[in-house]
Structure 1
Amino acid sequence: MKKIKLLLVEDEIVLAGVVKETLEANGFHISHAENGMQGWEQYLSFRPEICVVDIMMPKKDGIALVKDIRAVDEQTPVIFLTAKSETQDVIKGLQSGADDYIKKPFSLEELILRIRTLLKRTQLTNTPVSPKSHNGIYLLGSYAFDHNRQELRHEKEVIHLSLREADMLKMLAERPNATTHRRNILLELWGDDNFFNARNMDVYISKIRKYLQHDPSVQLINVRGLGYKLVY
């Protein structure tokens, strides 16, 4: 049975250990981050189905982390863990994009119930959405493509792209499920659509297609006589 991928972002190590152990015993696959910066990196590489995030953390707090997540992903449910009880703090957390919150101290049974309720609601209401870019980052299936860093991240590996590979993938990612014409790619990236540049481009397309092989739902399709389409 496929395990639900859950990102736990919590800087209290003892609490995080107890929560992680309990959730794993209940069939979840857990990735734990100790602060908001680690949480963002793990969100991009782990691609969780639900996030449980503490608000008060070093380096980057939970509200800033969830704002980053929501800039590229409106659907993955987020539950805040908070020691704060003031109404305004709860409202601020929900306004940042969280779906629910639970106050410390809390029972693990209640946390599991909240998680399962959100997952069920998400499965019933989610519809496909077009990808967004946040600071040059695109979510492509189970991949996170960081154009600025020239990285294509998957939980199995991090692929370091050449500048031309990154620029080509960016052109395709900006037009998901639509054809990007060969001539447009050649003129944009090579400045000339001659035969030799076209053959060179075909090599790059083959390399990008190979990079995407970890996720069969992500396909770089050759549209005969026109160009290429990134579908997922």
Structure 2
Amino acid sequence: MSNLKILFVEDEPALAEIIKESLESKGFDVLHVATVAEGLQAHSSTKFDLLILDVMLPDGDGFSLLKKIRSKDLTTPALFLTSKSLPTDVVNGFESGANDYLKKPFSMEELIIRIRSLLGIVNTRPIELKKTGPFAIGEYVFHYPEGVLVYKGSKKQLTFREAEILNVLQTRHEQMVLRQELLLTHWGNDDYFSGRSLDVFITKLRKYLKQDSSIAILNFRGQGYKLIF
């Protein structure tokens, strides 16, 4: 990932510094500029692997910037970062040639997941999972990959996806597992319908584990989940 170049166009200095430093700490090579003119000049002189663009810029907007870039470059993935959240703004973003759209405020973890997805490297560093059980989850015993959850001799056979999600949560218990990570790994996308499906699976897992009051699946709204016991 050390050779991947990102053009980052953002006019808020404090936010730009945080994002640039965070991405560079992950091994990306980031060129930050603050205006449409600088963005066009940078793109014309350097080959980038990804474009991250703010919408509101001092000399124009990210939509028009990307349209100009797309007249010459149809392939470089582009991600908008913006506080504009109306449906028309989202439509304008995609119509201008964007591949993804992230609303402010957002977590750096979510941004990294989106970047890896756009660059096709989401699964190059898969979630490290313990391969086989049984595993103790409070007073429960979870047999994986069989997908059997046992509580005081009573057995519950989980579906394949229920077992996969629980295995991720128990492998990284006491750590937040990103919602985006679960969706992209197990559904292949993070659209609204997949998100609702994930919510249903989390609700079912909470029901299965409710006999032990020391166990909880915490919900960090819009970010992810943490299994504690």
What's the TM-score once normalised by structure 1's chain length?
0.51
CA apart distance, 1:60: 2.4
* Separation in 2, partners of 1:108, 1:43: 24
Q: Which structure shows the higher helix fraction?
A: 1
% of aligned pairs identical? 47
- Look up the SS of the partner of 1:76 in the other structure: coil
How much does 1:43 deviate? 1.1
Contact (CA 8 Å) 1:67, 1:97: kept in 2 or not? yes
Task: State the AA in 1 paired with 2:109.
Answer: E
Unaligned ranges ≥5, structure 1: 122-232
Distance 2:80 2:2 in 1: 25
3-state SS in 2 of match to 1:116: helix
Q: Specify the SS of the correspondent of 1:84.
A: coil
Gap change, CA 1:2 and 1:108, over 3 Å in 2: closer
Shift of 1:46: 2.3
Q: Which residue of structure 1 lines up, in the alignment, with residue 96 of structure 2?
A: 96
How far, CA to CA, are the matches of 2:51 and 2:24 in structure 1? 14
Q: Deviations over 1:173-203 (max 9, x none)?
A: xxxxxxxxxxxxxxxxxxxxxxxxxxxxxxx
| Corresponding residue number in structure 2 for 1:107 | 107
After the TM superposition, list the runs of 4 or more consecutive aligned residues in structure 1 that deviate by more than 4 angstroms: none
Find the counterpart in structure 2 of residue 28 from structure 1: 28
Q: Quote how far apart the aligned CAs of 1:36 are.
A: 1.0
Partner deviation per Cα, 1:42-81 (whole Å, 9 max, x = no partner): 1112221100000011112100110011101111000001
Residue in structure 2 matched with residue 77 of structure 1 by the alignment? 77
Match of 1:10 in 2: 10
- Once residues 2 and 25 of structure 1 are traced to their aligned partners in structure 2, the CA distance between those partners, rounded to angstroms, is 10
2:66 is equivalent to residue 66 of structure 1: yes
1:113 alignment partner AA: I
Contact 2:50/2:119 (8 A) holds in 1: yes
1:37 paired with 2:34, answer no
Other-structure match for 1:116:
116
After the TM superposition, which residues 45-194 of structure 1 pair with which residues of structure 2 at under 5 Å, given as runs?
A: 45-120=45-120
Partner of 1:72, secondary structure, is coil
Contact 2:2–2:29 (8 Å) recurs in 1: no
Within 1, Cα distance between the matches of 2:63 and 2:101?
A: 12
**Amino acid aligned to 1:63:** F
What amino acid is aligned across from residue 93 of structure 1 in structure 2? G
SS at match of 2:119: helix
How far 1:2 moved relative to its partner?
4.2
- Residues 1:2 and 1:28: Cα distance change in structure 2 (over 3 Å): closer
Q: Secondary structure at the match of 1:69?
A: helix
Corresponding residue SS for 1:105:
coil
How has the CA–CA distance of structure 1 residues 2 and 85 changed in structure 2, closer, same or farther, with 3 Å as cutoff?
closer
Deviation of the 1:3 alpha carbon: 1.9
Structure 2 segments unaligned to the other structure (5+ residues): 122-229
Amino acid at match of 1:104: K
Give the corresponding residue for 2:145.
Answer: none
The whole-number CA distance in structure 2 between the counterparts of 1:109 and 1:19 is 11
Q: CA RMSD in A?
A: 1.2
Indicate if the aligned counterparts of 1:31 and 1:46 stay in contact, CA closer than 8 A: no
1:75 is paired with a residue of what secondary structure?
A: coil
Q: Which amino acid aligns with 1:103?
A: K
**Partner SS state of residue 6, structure 2:** strand
Q: C-alpha offsets along residues 93-122 of structure 1, whole Å, 9 cap, x if unaligned? A: 11000000000001011011101101008x
Question: Any idea what the Cα deviations from partners look like across 1:114-162, whole Å, max 9, x if unmatched?
Answer: 01101008xxxxxxxxxxxxxxxxxxxxxxxxxxxxxxxxxxxxxxxxx
